[in-house]
């Protein structure tokens, strides 16, 4: 196989030596001409996300942000925003749900969509025709003139990571190089990485993933909330890990796992479990408050997903009602997406957090993260 990205990376490695894992990832997914997200609409084809499973997901998230806006005193003007809107489904459902709260749509429009993929932008433009939405390349380009109520679902898991391996008391960073047989594959740096000093007592062979890109995204969100007010709901698969994360990279093509992704740059989706711990630290450094991560099933339960499903099911025939219920179960069941996926709430310093995050009855269940998608 010799796609354009494979040739491009091969030439770069031949000229400059092995490239960093996050550079390889960034090129695979986001190369402007040939990257996975630049050339296709993968959601639904290679993987399925919560808003594509049920309209109830986007409705409840939209209403949770509106509740938070009200709890923060209903400032106006304010702005609804989403980073990485995918097919636009979540925002379409959230916007429809907002109609039940008087004045919310007026106060929160125009909606800011931050999206780097041209292919997804044009899909979103079709899907959201008639809605007051505006696109931006980065959060920094959204005018910093009003509080922001922001959603991001499965954004962080798609941002590039770096991997370190613990050997003989030192951490060595993984890179992508060319192996003896001429294929692209993982190689280890020969010198220990200074990045590994944070976690000294780990078993030999332990792997830890870090992500400056995810932390930078959290810092950008935190800074904006601290400067302008507002809140964010961030949903992703992962947890707040205490020790090393392990190797959690998932390469997927056509809803199947790919075991050797290195020959297929641009053809595969890449994600890894989100370690919420460094993101929480990044938010704290901006002065923002956080709550969670809370399992998605518990969060949606507290927001009333059962009642909403019941209300919708009442208007449907038996088959469609049972389909709707099975979709709700897929989102909340701890053995499906309900526990693997977590919700982190963020609020501007001193302001109310979004609803549904604090367990009134006891500490949130921090179950083991399971297989995703
Ligand atoms: N939220 C959607 C899509 C998830 S896929 C859903 O739940 O279905 C990840 C999305 O994030 C895609 O839309 C991708 O193009 C976008 N994305 C990735 N990196 C980004 C970045 N740095 N800034 C903005 N969007 C980004």
Residue 247 located in a structural domain: yes
Give the lowest-confidence range in 31-35, 247-251, 321-325.
31-35
Structure-token pair, residue 354: 């979004």
Ligand 1 lined by 151 (C-beta under 6 Å): no
Residue 24 located in a structural domain: no
pLDDT of the residue at 255? 80
CA 87 / ligand 1 centre spacing (Å): 9
* CATH number, domain containing residue 46: 3.40.50.150
Q: Are 18 and 177 in contact (CB under 8 A)?
A: yes
Backbone angles phi and psi of 211, in degrees to 5: -145, 90
Peptide bond into 77 cis (omega under 30): yes
Summarize pLDDT for 172-229 with one digit per residue, the tens.
Answer: 999 999 987 888 999 999 999 887 666 778 899 999 999 999 999 999 999 999 999 9
Q: Which helix (H) or strand (E) holds 58?
A: helix 55-71
**Rounded to the nearest 5 degrees, what angle is found at the Cα of 188, between the Cα atoms of 187 and 194?**
145
Closest Cα to residue 119, out of 38, 44, 34, 49?
38
CA 228 / ligand 1 centre spacing (Å): 23
Summarize pLDDT for 356-370 with one digit per residue, the tens.
Answer: 998 554 444 443 333
Please give the Cα distance from 151 to 224 (Å, whole number): 14
Residue 23 located in a structural domain: no
Q: Tell me the sheet residues that pair with 345.
A: 233, 291
Ligand 1 lined by 354 (C-beta under 6 Å): no
User: How many beta carbons lie within 10 A of that of residue 158, not counting itself?
Assistant: 21
pLDDT of the residue at 360? 52
Summarize pLDDT for 258-297 with one digit per residue, the tens.
Answer: 988 898 889 999 999 999 999 999 999 999 999 999 999 9
Which residues make Cβ contacts (< 8 Å) with residue 371, sequence separation at least 6?
Answer: 340
Domain count, the chain: 1
Please give the Cα distance from 149 to 318 (Å, whole number): 37
Please determine, for residue 336, whether its predicted confidence score (pLDDT) is greater than 90.
Answer: yes
Ligand 1 lined by 51 (C-beta under 6 Å): yes
Q: Which atom of ligand 1 lies at the shortest distance from residue 114's CA? A: 24
Q: Which atom of ligand 1 lies at the shortest distance from residue 82's CA? A: 1
Ligand 1 lined by 155 (C-beta under 6 Å): yes
pLDDT of the residue at 196? 67
Residue 194 located in a structural domain: no
Query: In this structure, which residue's CA is closest to atom 16 in ligand 1?
Result: 84
User: How many beta carbons lie within 10 A of that of residue 364, not counting itself?
Assistant: 17
**Containing structural domain, residue 263:** 39-160+210-303+341-360
The Cα-based distances of 96 to 56, 91, 120, 180 in angstroms read 11, 8, 21, 56
Ligand 1 lined by 235 (C-beta under 6 Å): no
Please determine, for residue 371, whether its predicted confidence score (pLDDT) is greater than 50.
Answer: no
pLDDT of the residue at 3? 84
Ligand 1 lined by 43 (C-beta under 6 Å): yes
The angle, 0 to 180 degrees and rounded to 10, between the axes of the packed helices 55-71 and 318-332 is 60
Ligand 1 lined by 154 (C-beta under 6 Å): yes
Please indicate whether residue 265 or residue 83 has the higher confidence score (pLDDT): 83
Ligand 1 lined by 188 (C-beta under 6 Å): no
CA 158 / ligand 1 centre spacing (Å): 7
Backbone angles phi and psi of 84, in degrees to 5: 70, 60
Q: Taking residues 288-316, what's their average pLDDT?
A: 97
Which residues make Cβ contacts (< 8 Å) with residue 88, sequence separation at least 6?
Answer: 113, 123, 124, 126, 127, 128
Query: In this structure, which residue's CA is closest to atom 17 in ligand 1?
Result: 84
Residue 290 located in a structural domain: yes
Structure-token pair, residue 288: 């923002």
Residue 183 located in a structural domain: no
Residue 318 located in a structural domain: no
Summarize pLDDT for 108-117 with one digit per residue, the tens.
Answer: 999 999 999 9
Residue 117 located in a structural domain: yes
Give the lowest-confidence range in 31-45, 49-63, 155-169.
31-45
Confidence band (pLDDT; 50, 70, 90) for 2?
low
Summarize pLDDT for 135-172 with one digit per residue, the tens.
Answer: 999 999 999 999 999 999 999 999 999 999 999 889 99
Please determine, for residue 373, whether its predicted confidence score (pLDDT) is greater than 80.
Answer: no
Ligand 1 lined by 236 (C-beta under 6 Å): no
Q: Are 164 and 208 in contact (CB under 8 A)?
A: yes
Ligand 1 lined by 153 (C-beta under 6 Å): yes
Rounded mean pLDDT of the chain?
92
């Amino acid at each position: 196989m010799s796609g354009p990205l494979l040739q491009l990376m091969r030439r770069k490695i031949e000229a400059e030596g092995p490239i960093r894992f996050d550079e390889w990832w960034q090129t695979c997914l986001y190369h402007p001409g040939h990257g996975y997200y630049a050339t296709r609409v993968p959601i639904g084809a290679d993987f399925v996300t919560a808003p594509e499973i049920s309209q109830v997901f986007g409705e409840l998230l939209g209403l949770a942000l509106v509740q938070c806006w009200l709890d923060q005193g209903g400032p106006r003007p304010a702005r609804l925003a989403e980073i990485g809107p995918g097919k636009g489904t979540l925002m379409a459902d959230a916007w429809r749900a907002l109609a039940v709260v008087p004045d919310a749509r007026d106060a929160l429009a125009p909606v800011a969509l931050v999206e780097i993929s041209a292919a997804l932008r044009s899909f979103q433009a079709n899907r959201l025709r008639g809605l007051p939405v505006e696109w931006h390349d980065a959060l920094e380009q959204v005018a910093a003139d009003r509080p922001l109520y922001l959603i991001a679902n499965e954004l962080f898991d798609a941002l590039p990571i770096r991997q370190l391996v613990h050997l003989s008391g030192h951490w060595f960073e993984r890179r992508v190089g060319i192996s003896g047989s001429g294929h692209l594959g993982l190689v280890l740096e020969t010198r220990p990485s200074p990045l590994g000093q944070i976690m000294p007592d780990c078993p030999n062979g332990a792997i830890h993933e870090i992500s400056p890109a995810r932390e930078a995204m959290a810092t950008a969100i935190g800074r904006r909330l601290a400067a302008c007010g507002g809140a964010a709901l961030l949903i992703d698969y992962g947890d707040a890990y205490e020790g090393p994360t392990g190797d959690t990279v998932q390469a997927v093509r056509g809803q199947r796992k790919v075991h050797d992704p290195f020959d297929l740059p641009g053809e595969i989706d890449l994600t890894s479990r989100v370690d919420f711990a460094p993101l929480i630290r990044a938010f704290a450094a901006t002065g923002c408050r956080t709550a969670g991560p809370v399992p998605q099933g518990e969060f949606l339960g507290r927001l009333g997903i059962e009642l909403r499903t019941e209300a919708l099911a009442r208007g449907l025939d038996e088959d469609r009602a049972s389909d709707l219920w099975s979709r709700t179960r897929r989102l909340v069941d701890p053995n499906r997406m309900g526990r693997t996926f977590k919700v982190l709430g963020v609020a501007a310093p001193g302001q109310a957090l979004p609803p549904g995050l604090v367990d009134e009855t006891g500490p949130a269940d921090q179950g083991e993260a399971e297989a995703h998608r």
